Amino acid sequence: MGTNGDVKIGVYVCHCGTNIAAKVNIKEVVEFAQTLPHVTIAREYKFMCSDPGQELIRQDIRELGINRVIVASCSPLMHEATFRRVLEEGGSNPFFFHMANIREHDSWVTSSSRQATRKAQALIAAAAKRVFFHEALQKNSVPVNSNVMIVGGGISGIQAALTIANAGKKVYLVEREPSIGGHMAKFDKTFPTLDCASCILTPKMTQVASHPNIELLTYSEVESVEGYVGNFKIQIRKKARFVDENLCTGCGECTEVCPIDIPSEFDEGLGMRKAIYRPFPQSVPNTYTISRRGLPPCQATCSLHQKAQAYIQLIAKGEFEKALQIILRDNPLPSICGRVCSHPCMSVCSRNKVDQAVNIPGLKRFVTDRLSDYELPKPERERKEKIAVVGSGPSGLMCAYELRQRGYKVTIFEAASQPGGMLTQGIPAFRLPRGIITDEIERLERTGIDIKLNTHVGIDISLKDLKKKHDAVYIAIGAGVERKLNIPGENLRGIWGGIDFLRRINLGMHITPGKRVLVIGGGNSAIDAARTALRSGAEEVTIVYRRSRNEMPADQLEVEEAEKEGIRFYFMASPLRFLGNGRVTGMEFIRTRLGHPDESGRRRPVPIPNSEFTLPCDGVIVTIGQKPDVESLRDRLGLALTKFNTFVTDPLTLETNIPGVFAGGDCVTGPDVVVNAMFAGKKAAISIDRYLNRQDMREGRELEGPFEPTFEIDTEGVPVKWRIEMPSIEIERRRTFEEVHTGYTPEMAMEEAARCLACAGCCDCQLCSTVCEAKAIDYNQKDTTLEVDVGSIIIATGFKTFDPKRIPSYGYQILPNVFTSLEIERLINSAGPTGGEIILKNGEKPKSVGIIHCVGSRDIHHNRYCSRVCCMYSLKFAHLIRERTHAEVYNFYIDMRAFGKGYEEFYDRILEEGAHLVRGRVAEVTDVALDSSEEGKLIIRVEDTLIGMVRRIPVDMVILSVGLEARPDAEEVRRLFNISCSVEGFFLERHPKLAPVSTFTDGVFLAGACQGPKDIPDSVAQAGAAAAEALALIDKGVVELEPNTAWIEEEECSGCQTCVALCPFTAISYDAEKHVSVVNEVLCKGCGTCVSACPSGAAKQHLFLDEEILAEIEGVLTI
Amino acid sequence: MQTHRKVKYEAELDPSFTKWVSTVPGGERIRECFQCGTCSSICPLSVYMDISPRRLIAMADAGFKEEVLSSFTIWLCASCYSCSVNCPKDIKITDIMYGLKRRAIEEGIFPSRHFAIPILAKAFANMVRKNGRATESRLVVSLAWRVSLFRLLNMAPLGIKLLLRGRLSFKKEKIQNKQEIQTMLKALEANR
């Protein structure tokens, strides 16, 4: 044992007043200590930590040559640092020291004096064994970065920032909201002096903004924190505010045009703000922000990304002209789409969660009907390139329009005598009047598009010629060839293909399909054919479909209309053959049941054996689908085809296998809806434009087209309001081709549009950018990440108020006129939603007001603690309400807490003014009146505990003085900064009395209410203290690191790297040359994870060497 | 009117009662009561009580044994548990009321000799002990006999109507093997 030199141990047993001495027999312990090996001297003293106590140790080191010291007293957390310093002063290495905790671990927690004494002996024996092995260690020191980051821009953060910045140090002030100011900015007056909150706060806010040493990062959040005291590396995410802070002048023109109203968070939802907003007029920075959750679901899911929320919001405001202009930005055929679009937007409408989707196409139609003399924009420049479009259906028209807008010369070749493709030929006039199509196409022609009718490409002009004469070709010939049932009897007279039938009638022929007509199929064409048959002289029309109603692909609204008109449906029947001789007289079917889902996801119909039956008829229309007529093009130049006879194209660009030839719409996808055909046309136009400009056709195009909504909103509490039905003509009149739906009136349209929840916030209408003179608005702004190096961090993230909905008997959000204290702050504030008028929901002034203290506080079911500020702000309300409304005010308190400077005097003043103070916790607030004096009032039921009677007090307004809680994300913030939370969720200070602004993580300090409920004076005082701590650290310039770091014995390390992955501080790296792990001592925090994990025992830690620990255990066991 | 000297001397209080109350199941937290009055104001019957639940808790905790055990309050409690649910200190006031009632029965202290509720409770318990079940009609009569015959006469018209409709029967209700319940109750009592 001589290896460690001549060890002389001194043992010092502390009485700690009576804390230890009352339980532990000190004398016995000292006598025992003297018997231990290597112990030279054992002493006792009343307070070892006091100056004379310390001197004892110093003296023994000097005079007796003591070179190991054991102090048996309190916790090392309390005084380890003190005694190490003593050793240093005495001329010894400070780490030749060990502390035996005989207070927290012994005298305080042991009931028997005998046992306490025994335990003290065991602990000292252990310490004596251990301290023998202690090594002389040196503290490392590292320089401190003088920058400080402050998280949270409330009054605490502001105060701390200014203090540090005024001392000449750089401050990063990070605030999550668009403006600094925090809760205090919402207040009107502050207790007890009643000075105006904004008068004392806003000068500080502007000082922050203009201070050269403060970098203000609003609308930003801390993403990650790395490093250690003196040297933190912080990642900060600056959220996109879609407004350039440097350009915005804060003029506010944008809010004048913004159509979106959102309940103002700053006004606690009592007033409205726009989607582009600044929280309050004195906001710092004086910059606007756009609230944008993402693209509205309706817009996201639309192939054309029509800005549906935008035009709906404008319609709701009566701004029809603006709405039209928004519609025309993305859609040159709006009056057609408003009638026949399959509206995928409606199925994702957020309103579905409440009741029914908004009638989006109906509203679009309303605008185009009302302002029907609109024109499409003309191209701004002309280009010489010529483009041929084959087919004038929606896809061809869209492509032609998009290319024409870019200045190209576009010619559309149409085989039929009328333009419009399936719009004209397939969709009946009672849904889409011919005049509407003509008007839309003429508008397109007026932009300079040439349409050549009766020109069948393949017959009148070859595709080859077309390709030669034009710079690019877009093929959009649709899918016009009927599919057949392929069952016996299909050639009988009286059997029509659905498209053939519709085409003939739509092109003006007069055909009667029969008196009793069967329609086979369940798609939109089936419904169109059936309704057309009804209008062409048929008396009885039945749609026969082989699956059930749920699997029908047809639009549900159209199905309902067809039913109203008297069309019958026959489900679960599959056709077997046609009956008749020459002309069809009936049809044989077999019943089906639903089997397993097929590739379309719908359940497959399975025939039920021996269930054949016959339906009589004299006409049948078969609408079971179409395919493209690629044969009609004759010479196809070698264009590749799929097995379904559709063109093969690149899905991203729509280019075919021949450069310069593009194809899209039904002839590529098979039969599909109008909006997808238009989308293909638009996509092809973008490709052609890039093709002709020799740009990369594929770059950045993955995001075109519909996508799933990116967000969901909470619709709780939205009142149910069903869709406004669009007026239609009477059923009796539906035997002609008169349009069925007559469209909304302006009043109806505005009412329907008002149902829109504006779920995305900003609706992407971009009207604000049209009025912004500074050109500060940038819709493409993205979140950015910033990295800063700081030496210390002050957390001042504040609090949240208790949600009184958790106490239903107080009626918050159930009874009107029950307010929270924050709401009242806004009502009282002259810059608030009522301009400082304290009024009830009906606009009247209250004659009596009840203020309930301790809501959510001092209650085992919610928060056990007292929130400290509620009594005083409730008294402040009592004063302000009496002053402004002369109402009778009742305060219901449990105990009055008026402990601050001038607070008790303020309480006196309120009593003097005549407020009624009732001692008792309110049981309930109700509107059930027991007699006429309570009628129409809110009745507060409470026991007046000082009088000893239950009282019912009728009032007009109830104010709930809600308590303060930790912020809901305190847990995440705690992890981020590696600090602790107390049970209530507030951040934990290092010591409640002696280190109230420090945390257990060096270099991280706390200020304000994030550490516990606090009023403004206390928050500001704490902010000053936190700033002083940070400055002290900076001024010292270096931090000393504990030498309890780990290291790795190179010879023993096998290079398994287990420790590298486990180290929570990323302090271990792998030296690939030596095949060993290496600990960076500066980063090591001495947690010991690597030591316990190392399979070969190569990882070791100073102050926790194996021999030290084993000796300690041995020592404990000697007793 | 006469004036009374109203002062309670410590010597008149019963400190063992204080201790006992805190051992009643549910009474563990009684010391934490901060007299907010939620129990009294939420209680649907407190307006009829001579001592409000809040005061009762304070008095029980202070050792006012006579006053507490002879109060109407403990008998008027309808066991709706509103006070227990709403008490911000989680004091199980209803459970304490039960404890006090049991103590009052044991000590034979009642607000008045003719106060119906304890009499009813006793009659009910006896009937169940004997037959394993209560016969409501007989219970009413036996209660009236001991409290007030006059009130029975007052309620006669209602009783006759109920009888005629078959809603009130004088047939004794009993369970099978009623000796078993007696055995059980005896075993319970022997255990105490």
Q: Can you say whether residue A174 is alpha, beta or left, with left for phi > 0 and alpha for psi between -120 and 50 degrees?
A: beta
Buried b (16+ CB within 10 A) or exposed e, A1066-1089: ebbebeeeeebbbbeeebbbbbeb
Whether A1111 is covered by a domain: the verdict is no
Q: Is A717 exposed, middle or buried, given 0-12, 13-18 or 19+ CB atoms closer than 10 A?
A: exposed
> Looking at the complex, does the CB of residue B18 fall below 8 Å from at least one CB of chain A?
no
Q: At what angle do helices A1016-1036 and A155-166 cross, to 10 degrees?
A: 30
Pick A921's closest partner by Cβ from B46, B47, B88: B88
Q: Can you say whether residue A500 is alpha, beta or left, with left for phi > 0 and alpha for psi between -120 and 50 degrees?
A: alpha
Whether B122 is covered by a domain: the verdict is yes
Whether A746 is covered by a domain: the verdict is yes
Name, in order, each residue with C-beta under 8 angstroms of A1016's C-beta and a sequence gap of 6 or more: A155, A184, A190
Whether A219 and A248 share a structural domain: no
pLDDT in tens, A1005-1060: 999 999 999 999 999 999 999 999 999 999 999 988 888 899 999 999 999 999 99
> Looking at the complex, does the CB of residue A920 fall below 8 Å from at least one CB of chain B?
yes
pLDDT value for A950: 94
Kindly report the average pLDDT of chain A as a whole number: 92
Q: What is the mean pLDDT of residues A946-952?
A: 94
Query: Is pLDDT larger for residue A462 or for residue A72?
Result: A72
pLDDT value for A485: 86
The answer to whether the CB of A149 falls within 8 A of the CB of A232 is yes
Whether B22 and B102 share a structural domain: yes
Domain stop point among A991, A1018, A1039: A1039
Whether A128 and A277 share a structural domain: no
Buried b (16+ CB within 10 A) or exposed e, A372-391: eebebeeeeeebebebbbbb
Whether B80 and B152 share a structural domain: no
Domain count of the fold of chain A: 8
pLDDT at A4 over 70: no
Of A478-492, A527-541, A577-591, the least confident: A478-492
> Looking at the complex, does the CB of residue A860 fall below 8 Å from at least one CB of chain B?
yes
Q: Beta-carbon neighbour count of residue A1055 at 10 Å? A: 15
> Looking at the complex, does the CB of residue A950 fall below 8 Å from at least one CB of chain B?
yes
The answer to whether the CB of A223 falls within 8 A of the CB of A759 is no
Whether A20 and A118 share a structural domain: yes
Whether A643 is covered by a domain: the verdict is no
pLDDT in tens, A461-515: 888 888 899 999 999 998 888 888 888 888 888 898 888 899 888 888 888 888 9
Whether A1059 and A917 share a structural domain: no
The answer to whether the CB of A106 falls within 8 A of the CB of A140 is no
Residue B1: pLDDT band (50, 70, 90) is low
Residues of B in contact with A895 (CB under 8 A): 34
Residue A5: pLDDT band (50, 70, 90) is low
Whether A722 and A816 share a structural domain: no
pLDDT in tens, B134-143: 888 888 888 8
pLDDT in tens, A795-834: 999 999 999 999 999 999 999 999 999 999 999 998 899 9
Whether A1116 is covered by a domain: the verdict is no
pLDDT value for A189: 93
pLDDT in tens, B44-93: 999 999 999 999 999 999 999 999 999 999 999 999 999 999 999 999 99
Whether A707 is covered by a domain: the verdict is no
Domain stop point among B46, B81, B107: B107
Whether B19 and B40 share a structural domain: yes
| Min Cα separation A891/chain B (Å) | 14
Q: What is the mean pLDDT of residues A242-252?
A: 92
Q: What is the mean pLDDT of residues A198-222?
A: 95
For residue A537, the one-letter residue type is G
Whether A766 and A866 share a structural domain: no
Whether B34 is covered by a domain: the verdict is yes
pLDDT value for A19: 94
Kindly report the average pLDDT of chain B as a whole number: 89
Whether B179 is covered by a domain: the verdict is yes
* Angle, CA of A1007, A1010 and A1012, to the nearest 5°: 100
- According to DSSP, the residues that pair with A173 across neighbouring strands are A150, A216
Whether B6 is covered by a domain: the verdict is no
| Min Cα separation B36/chain A (Å) | 5
The pair of three-digit structure tokens given for residue A506, joined into one six-digit string: 């739509």
Please state the separation of Cα A708 from the chain's center in Å: 16
Domain count of the fold of chain B: 2
Helix residue spans in chain B (DSSP H): 15-21, 38-42, 53-62, 65-69, 73-76, 82-86, 93-107, 116-131, 136-147, 149-154, 156-164, 178-191
Whether A175 is covered by a domain: the verdict is yes
Q: From CA A222, how far away is CA A785, in angstroms rounded?
A: 9
| Min Cα separation B93/chain A (Å) | 15
Whether A268 and A287 share a structural domain: yes
Whether B95 and B47 share a structural domain: yes
A860 contacts B41? CB cut-off 8 A:
no
* CATH code of the domain in which B43 resides: 1.10.1060.10
* Angle, CA of A428, A434 and A438, to the nearest 5°: 140
Task: Tell me if residue B161 falls in helix, strand or coil.
Answer: helix
The pair of three-digit structure tokens given for residue A724, joined into one six-digit string: 């406004």
* CATH code of the domain in which A23 resides: 3.40.50
Domain stop point among B42, B72, B107: B107
Whether B20 and B103 share a structural domain: yes
Whether A618 and A717 share a structural domain: no
Give the chain B residue nearest A895 (alpha carbons): B36
* Angle, CA of A1066, A1070 and A1074, to the nearest 5°: 155
> Looking at the complex, does the CB of residue A921 fall below 8 Å from at least one CB of chain B?
yes
Interface-testing mutation among B33, B34, B38, with chain A (most A C-beta atoms within 10 A): B38
Q: What is the mean pLDDT of residues A239-260?
A: 92
> Looking at the complex, does the CB of residue A947 fall below 8 Å from at least one CB of chain B?
no
> What ipTM goes with this model?
0.86
pLDDT value for A1: 38
pLDDT in tens, A392-406: 999 999 999 999 999
Whether B22 and B103 share a structural domain: yes
Whether B79 and B58 share a structural domain: yes
Longest dimension (CA), chain A: 132
* CATH code of the domain in which A1060 resides: 3.30.70.20
Scan for tokens 């009184």, then name that residue: A804
pLDDT at A3 over 50: no
Of A865-879, A889-903, B125-139, the least confident: B125-139
pLDDT at A2 over 60: no
Q: Can you say whether residue A32 is alpha, beta or left, with left for phi > 0 and alpha for psi between -120 and 50 degrees?
A: alpha
Helix residue spans in A231-280 (DSSP H): 253-257
Whether A620 and A501 share a structural domain: yes
pLDDT value for A687: 94
End-to-end CA distance of chain B: 49
The pair of three-digit structure tokens given for residue A1109, joined into one six-digit string: 């620990």
Whether A528 and A592 share a structural domain: yes
B88 contacts A923? CB cut-off 8 A:
no
Residue range(s) defining the domain that contains residue A834: 801-965
Q: What is the mean pLDDT of residues A834-842?
A: 92
Whether A527 is covered by a domain: the verdict is yes
> Looking at the complex, does the CB of residue A945 fall below 8 Å from at least one CB of chain B?
yes
Q: What does the H/E/C string look like for A300-329?
A: HHCCCCCCHHHHHHHHHCCCHHHHHHHHHH
Whether A1056 and A1093 share a structural domain: yes
Q: From CA A21, how far away is CA A143, in angstroms rounded?
A: 44
Whether B79 and B125 share a structural domain: no
Name, in order, each residue with C-beta under 8 angstroms of A184's C-beta and a sequence gap of 6 or more: A154, A155, A190, A197, A201, A1016
Fill in the DSSP letter of residue A815. B
Residue range(s) defining the domain that contains residue B160: 116-191
Whether B31 and B51 share a structural domain: yes
Whether B23 and B100 share a structural domain: yes
> Looking at the complex, does the CB of residue A89 fall below 8 Å from at least one CB of chain B?
no
| CB contacts < 8 A (A, B) | 53
Interface-testing mutation among A864, A921, A951, with chain B (most B C-beta atoms within 10 A): A921
Q: Is A94 exposed, middle or buried, given 0-12, 13-18 or 19+ CB atoms closer than 10 A?
A: buried
Q: What is the mean pLDDT of residues A373-386?
A: 90
Question: Long-range pairs for A465-469 at CB < 8 Å and ≥24 separation?
Answer: A466/A388, A466/A390, A466/A413, A467/A388, A467/A637, A467/A658, A467/A660, A467/A661, A469/A386, A469/A388
Whether B5 is covered by a domain: the verdict is no
The pair of three-digit structure tokens given for residue A300, joined into one six-digit string: 């996201």
pLDDT at A376 over 80: yes
> Looking at the complex, does the CB of residue A963 fall below 8 Å from at least one CB of chain B?
no
Whether A44 is covered by a domain: the verdict is yes
Query: Percentage of chain A with pLDDT > 90?
Result: 75
Whether B81 and B16 share a structural domain: yes
A943 contacts B41? CB cut-off 8 A:
yes
Whether A164 and A225 share a structural domain: yes
* CATH code of the domain in which A503 resides: 3.50.50.60
Residue A717: pLDDT band (50, 70, 90) is confident
Q: From CA A866, how far away is CA A1004, in angstroms rounded?
A: 26
Domain stop point among B107, B128, B162: B107
Strand A1099-1101 to A220-228 pairing: unpaired
pLDDT value for A553: 86
